[in-house]
Amino acid sequence: MPVFSTLDAWLTHLESAHPVGIDMGLARIGRVRDALSLNFACPVITVGGTNGKGSTCAVLEAILLAAGYTVGCHTSPHLLSFNERARVNGQMVSDDELLPHFAAVEAARLSLSEPGSEPVTLTYFEFTTLAIMHLFASRGLDAVIFEVGLGGRLDAVNLLDTDCAIITSIDLDHTEYLGDTRELIAVEKAGIFRAGKPAICADPLPPQTLIDYAQGIGAQLWLFGRDFRYEGQAGSERQQWSYLGPTMRRSALAYPALRGANQLLNATAALAGLEALRERLPVSAQDIRLGLARVELPGRFQVLPGRPSVVLDVGHNPHAAAVLAQNLGNMGFFPYTYAVFGAMRDKDLAGVIAHLKDEIDHWCVTGLDTPRAASAAELEAALHAAGVIPERGDPDSSITTFSAPAEAFQNALRRASENDRIVVFGSFHTVAGVMAYRHSQSRSHIKSD
């Protein structure tokens, strides 16, 4: 039985332990869950959707922590460290805390093998999600929050019988697995709903297929605009807003500490989920205010301090690109905007570029260190196909190719003046590459001092 002594060794092993990286279905992982006797006595919240899942999880976590609850929060993917995927009481769990639970999952997996047959195999995401579930279950927490990885119906997180399911948004992404229409994708995402349990949908225009599915299984469906909503209001010094739900109103709330146009919608979804669970997890107006003020999540329209202005955004599909374009437009005037852009080959590159091409003056496109990634040359071709340079008619506009995000970012830094702006987007890998470079520079400065 391969039991490794370091987390890195486990993760390296898991990257090739299953024949394919994505293998939709719950049969294999369900058997291992049963062997682990995995269950939770506390409320379980699952969060799915095309965009906004991580932000909604972070808001839920921050409010519950402000209320004094012990909370486990799982999100994916990570940016710099795997440990980002598992937080207990707001802190990333350590390698040493994770290792026993990786070993427990491996033991349960191998216990299912029969003489003459291979044991059940698990993908990287399935194995690691089970390990994090097992860790959370061992802690006797007051609440656990799980971000769905892909879709919903067949995702590993859907092993859990959730007490409240939240869907943030529904748009086209991962179409090869989930379907090529919003209607088909909505059914896959609605698979996290449960009969008799709150089912929150924050998409302002939910497909009818989601509504039909929820009604068909007898879920308690809450729809944005029908059952809950937000209202903006002008405060004396800064903008404030109010949450209005079926039984509760929260007024004079400050905007979430997370920046961006859609964060109010994500916060509203979180508040709807907490209202639905109010009998088991009551929170006060002050808990909400503190949680909204304290919430943090790297890479979601994250504007770094200093000049030139640097924006990190993990948006990687047309829906996220449209929100990013809106957020960039709201930032004010910058003489030039440089993009550090790297993306997966299977994404709708044309759709992403279409939303952002009018916000970008110079494109620093980059390859990424993963087989799924589009090459810099492919991204350059996609930009040309979108008519980026001819359409802008700007003789100073440019496209430059690089092999890694750090190189692209360094080039943008050299070319940008202090009044310009650099936007890093297109993939978690793109943002992670730039963050890793910045961290290495910070460490080298500290050593030199």
Going by pLDDT thresholds of 50, 70 and 90, the confidence category of residue 26 is confident
pLDDT, tens only, 302-335:
999 899 999 999 988 898 999 999 999 989 999 9
Task: Please state the domain extents for the chain.
Answer: 7-294, 302-448
Asked whether this chain's domains 7-294 and 302-448 adopt the same fold, the reply is no
The strand pair at 398-402 and 198-201 is best described as unpaired
Q: Taking the model in full, what pTM does it have? A: 0.89
Q: How far apart are CA 219 and CA 165, in angstroms?
A: 10
Amino acid in position 344: M
Residue 258: per-residue pLDDT? 87
Going by pLDDT thresholds of 50, 70 and 90, the confidence category of residue 232 is confident
CATH architecture of 302-448: Alpha-Beta Complex (3.90)
pLDDT, tens only, 159-195:
999 999 999 988 866 556 566 688 888 988 899 999 9
Among candidate residues 172, 208, 173, 210, the one with its CA nearest the CA of residue 191? 210
Answer whether 376's CB lies under 8 Å from 403's CB.
yes
Question: Is the model's pLDDT at 238 over the cut of 80?
Answer: no
Going by pLDDT thresholds of 50, 70 and 90, the confidence category of residue 396 is low
**Assigned fold of 7-294:** UDP-N-acetylmuramoyl-L-alanine:D-glutamate ligase (3.40.1190)
Long-range Cβ pairs for the range 385-388 (8 Å, 24+): 385/350, 386/350, 386/353, 386/354, 386/357, 388/353, 388/357, 388/360, 388/363
Answer whether 71's CB lies under 8 Å from 145's CB.
yes
Q: Choose between 149 and 343: higher pLDDT.
A: 343
Query: Which of 131-135, 181-185, 208-212, 407-411 has the weakest average pLDDT?
Result: 181-185
Q: What is the mean pLDDT of residues 387-397?
A: 61
Q: Is 387 left (phi over 0), alpha (psi -120 to 50) or beta?
A: left
Question: Is the model's pLDDT at 372 over the cut of 60?
Answer: yes
Residue 151: per-residue pLDDT? 74
Answer whether 432's CB lies under 8 Å from 79's CB.
yes
pLDDT, tens only, 27-72:
889 999 999 999 999 999 999 998 899 999 999 999 999 999 999 9
